[in-house]
A and B are shown apart, each in its own frame.
Chain A
Amino acid sequence: MNCKRAMEISAGGLSGSLNDSEKAELSGHLEECASCRKEAELLSKAWQALELYEAPALGDKFVDALMAKLRAGQAEEQASGFNPFALSPDTRAALAGWWKVPAMTLASFAVYVLCVETGLMPARQFSVPAARSSGSPLSNIFSEGPAAGGGNLLTMLEGADK
């Protein structure tokens, strides 16, 4: 057995899973190798020393305090009154983000309209150019702007596209 394997067994706490010949091999190595012997001894002492770190004992008050907290939680739920639309916690969690769906849809639509209006995206399927000619407030901002304004940019891009 080499030093690496001896240390693996010592630090891995694997000595319990070794067969008799492996155990004999390990103790043989530790007997003749002072360095591994010292390491194994330190490993074992450090592991033993963990028992010095004791946790204090919990008394029965712990259970009383816990049950009081649980009762207070239940009382709070009951005090909020009977609600025929009351939802289970799982359903509440599932519905918690319901508003995100319409919000994201609206936001995406707003971004699309803005892109079309500013000329970052050519409008093909929607009749946005018609809306512009009819003088929607958004298109007015651009069509009344300087020569490099969004309306001109849109026309240039549309031209380049063709």
Chain B
Amino acid sequence: MTEDPDQDARLMLRFIAGEESCFIELVKTHKQRVFAFAYRFLGNAADAEDAAQEVFIKVYNARNKYTVKAKFTTWLFTITRNTCLNFLAKRGHRGLFVPLDEKPEAQEDAPGLQLADPKDLPPAELLIRKEQAEAVKKALASLPENQRTAVLLCRYDELSYEAIAEVMGCSAKAVKSILHRAKLGLKEKLAELFQ
């Protein structure tokens, strides 16, 4: 994330005025967050990369609808969430959960990805981490969409309740209640990891 939040707005205004390099700078700054949200929301890298591309194409084409009143990241996450919802709808009943084993194949279709090299970890620890990550992925995928969105924005993007509320089109109080239910759900689903 850009350190100065107003920096995003300034870049966006310069982009609207015709400086395309500012758009590229915004993409470079936010691409990982957008992709990571889509990856955890949709459950696979290929779809997430496609969704992230679509998000920035929408930003490019909708630049004239951006108002400085809305914080750039809030606007960006609203577009990201809607794009992910469209992907889910298109995917229909194929469902969310793709085991992590399928990741390498999915990533072959996603040329923009660079994987962290997991070789530095001992095999036993790697296996445990993989199992735990799989359990977390499953638990997240099993949450209702609004709970999953709230968790992703709160836990990984550290958005305030107010910002999450704006993205989700509800009140901050509703966000608190959604997160409360999500945390109880995750606790139930992940309890066996800690036995």
Contacts and interface: CB of A to CB of B under 8 A. Distances in A.
Interface string B20-59: 0000100110011001100110000100110011001100
Contacts of B45: 56
A160 to B, nearest CB: 53
**Residue among A8, A52, A67 having the largest count of chain B Cβ atoms under 10 Å:** A52
Contact of B133 (A12, A54, A59, A63): A54
B119 interface: no
Interface residues on A, range: 20 to 34
Interface string A53-69: 11111110111011101
Interface string B141-180: 0000000000100011000000000000000000010011
Given A55-B35, A59-B112, A65-B111, A49 B28 contact: no
A42 interface: yes
Contact of B136 (A50, A58, A59): A50
Given A49-B193, A67-B24, A69-B57, A54 B116 contact: yes
B183 A43 contact: yes
Given A46-B183, A57-B32, A58-B113, A52 B132 contact: yes
A42 B191 contact: yes
Q: Which of B36, B156, B190 has the most CB of A within 10 A?
A: B190
A107 B17 CA distance: 47
Contacts, number: 114
A62 B49 contact: yes
B53 A49 contact: no
B114 A59 contact: yes
B118 to A, nearest CB: 10
A91 B52 CA distance: 27
A50 B114 CA distance: 21
A124 to B, nearest CB: 49
Interface string A3-23: 000001001111000000000
Interface string A27-54: 0000000000001001101110110111
23 contacts: A13-B179, A42-B187, A42-B190, A42-B194, A46-B186, A47-B155, A49-B193, A50-B136, A52-B132, A55-B48, A56-B39, A56-B107, A58-B35, A58-B49, A58-B52, A58-B112, A63-B24, A63-B28, A65-B112, A66-B27, A70-B57, A73-B57, A89-B61
The 5 closest A-B pairs by CB, nearest first: A62-B112, A55-B36, A53-B136, A59-B114, A46-B190
Given A46-B191, A62-B27, A62-B35, 12 more contacts: A11-B180, A39-B187, A45-B194, A53-B136, A57-B113, A59-B114, A62-B31, A63-B27, A63-B28, A63-B31, A66-B53, A89-B61
